[in-house]
Structure 1
Amino acid sequence: MNSLLKPIKLPLALAVACTSMLASQTSILADPTTTRQPSNTASLDTTIHFNPPQPPPEPPPGGRVLGGAKRGTCPQFKPQLTALVPFTQKSPTDVDVWGLTTAAHPTFWFYIPLPKNATYPAEFVLQDEASNPIYQTAIALPDQPGVMGISLPKTVAPMVLNKRYRWFFSIYCDQEKQWPPVYVEGVIQRVNLSQAIAQQLETAKPQQQSAIYAQNGIWYETLTTLAKLRLKNPNDSKLQAEWRNLITSIGLSDVATQPIVSQ
């Protein structure tokens, strides 16, 4: 796949390993403001069924939803490092990893297979369409393996509507970062919802909000809203089932039952 974006200034090994970047010129993905109409019953329904939007136009986003095989000194992870985001497996080696958000500062979710006592450096990076780093930070691993949220801080410039951004989450298995990391990457785009859907969300309860986001193809708010509910109600079996069904529905059953360990 040809690339029109330059990679960020990551170590050479990672630069070689990363998949192609996006082109700087692109049209909007599936903008809910123009392609989706709110359901009369969505705001009353708490059952979460994710309705994937239309695939993005050319060039395809590419990406990596799983951390992959052993690299350098990295041990084998079971389950693997996983990005909790929809993906399209076009071939055994060709994957599109992408999702929509309505938030200016969204939260990204990952299954982390290592606890913090593993002492492996981890890093999150967000780039704009021109491959300029928007946000780059070291990430403290959670106390135990599990699902972790990484929120874009309010101190960072808000994501621009209808622009694509590329994210990376990497775990290095040596302190000096001399070996290629285990990493995942994908594309996120911020869109607006119609006024009618926004009004539904204003009057809906949190689980209803998650269902509305899901129906309209807004992955990041679907997942974040449900994750916050689970963190607030850790013993709620119905929320656990909704989470498990949602993660399984996008093809990530290996991590669907993993605990949420931090945000």
Structure 2
Amino acid sequence: MTLVLFGLVSCPTTVSAQLVQLLNQPLVNKPSQSTQLPKFPASGGGAPTGRRKGGTSRDGCTPLNTPITALVPGEEIGDESKSFLTFTISEYPTFWFFVPELPKNAVLGEFKLQDENGKNIYTTSLSLPRKASIFGIKLPHNSQSALKIKKNYQWYFKVFCGNLQEQSEYFYVNAWIQRVPLNSNLEIQLKSTPQEYTTYARNQIWQDALTNLATLHRSNPNSRIFTEDWTLLLKDVGLAELATAPIVELESEEKTVTQSN
């Protein structure tokens, strides 16, 4: 296990001088560390799987040199890859993707969330960045798209190419997510930890560890600690090669559809 993120757990949040000092060194090199994180993924038990990389040859689509990638735990199986169920405590989590430099005819993306019975919960279209980038798609704050505790949800991210009128030709990735309850033990840990992603990672709550660290890294691009921990977090799920891609904000198109039935 290479990723260890607990250097800040024992540091009192009220001691600002100590926190500033800690933020200038990588968490993984804290000499007081003795606990190792459980290795992602943590789904197991026959949990649902999906496809975390897409970009091989498809009708009407030029093969990509680097595949679009869902930033989720998974494994590579020859030329194929699969993704695993991830966990969140958020009603409205953020889903993260890497998109490489795309051909000119691939300009439109679509994100879709479904419940475990295949009913559409939320769909949105978005214009994609022209350069290789990492970005997140956050669920809107409304009752229709809120995740329910202990329910599995499947999501898809598609990159359309070829004839945009038909939208029948695309690359895609998909995975599953489950919302878990915020219990008292986790709440205490979060309140006592200056950087929340360390607690999320220790408790195998991948989606929130990724979102918290991605937000910090994007807001503090020159921080050595966030840069190194971002690399280690992605490395732990076999995606270290994506760590240097810029994290950008992406705006959804006006045509956003939320479906409740």
Task: Pick the TM interval, shorter chain.
Answer: 0.7 to 0.9
CA distances 1:192-219 after superposition (whole Å, capped 9, x unpaired): 24312212212422xx310110011000
Quote the Cα distance in structure 2 between the aligned partners of 1:96 and 1:157.
Answer: 22
Distance 1:79 1:93 in 2: 13
In structure 1, what is the equivalent of residue 180 of structure 2? 191
Does residue 1:84 correspond to 2:71, yes or no?
Answer: yes
Correspondent of 1:65 among 48, 52, 55: 52
Task: Determine the structure 2 residue equivalent to 1:171.
Answer: 159
1:196 counterpart letter in structure 2? N
Matched, 1:43 2:45: no
- Candidates 170, 182, 189, aligned match of 2:171: 182
Does the Cα contact within 8 Å between 2:55 and 2:66 map onto a contact in 1? no
Q: Secondary structure at the match of 2:215?
A: helix
Task: Measure how far apart 1:165 and its partner are.
Answer: 0.2
Counting only pairs closer than 5 Å after superposition, residues 38-187 of structure 1 correspond to structure 2 as 43-44=9-10, 46-47=27-28, 49=37, 51-52=39-40, 54-58=42-46, 60-89=47-76, 95-114=82-101, 120-142=107-129, 144-155=131-142, 156-174=144-162, 175-187=164-176
Larger CA Rg, structure 1 vs 2: 2
Secondary structure of 2:225's match?
A: helix
1:77 deviates by 2.2
Cα distance change, pair 56–90 in 1 and its aligned pair in 2 (3 A): farther
Aligned-residue identity in percent: 33
Q: Distance in 2 between matches of 1:111 and 1:50?
A: 24
Q: Cα distance, 1:253 vs. partner?
A: 2.6
Q: CA deviation at 1:248?
A: 1.3
**By percentage of residues, which structure has more strand?**
2
The Cα of 1:42 is off from its aligned counterpart by 6.5
Letter paired with 1:86: P
SS of 1:43's partner is coil
Structure 2 equivalent of residue 227 of structure 1: 214
| Distance in 1 separating the partners of 2:199 and 2:159 | 34
Distance in 1 of aligned mates of 2:54 and 2:119: 23
Report the number of matched residues. 222
Amino acid at match of 1:132: K
Query: C-alpha separation between the residues in 2 aligned to 1:171 and 1:61?
Result: 23
CA-to-aligned-CA distance 1:73-122 (integer Å, 9 cap, x gap): 32332321000001145776573422111100000000012469755221
Stretch moving more, 110-119 or 190-199: 110-119
Look up the match of 2:258: none
Partners of 2:213 and 2:42 lie apart in 1 by: 23
Kindly indicate whether residue 206 of structure 2 is the aligned counterpart of residue 214 of structure 1: no
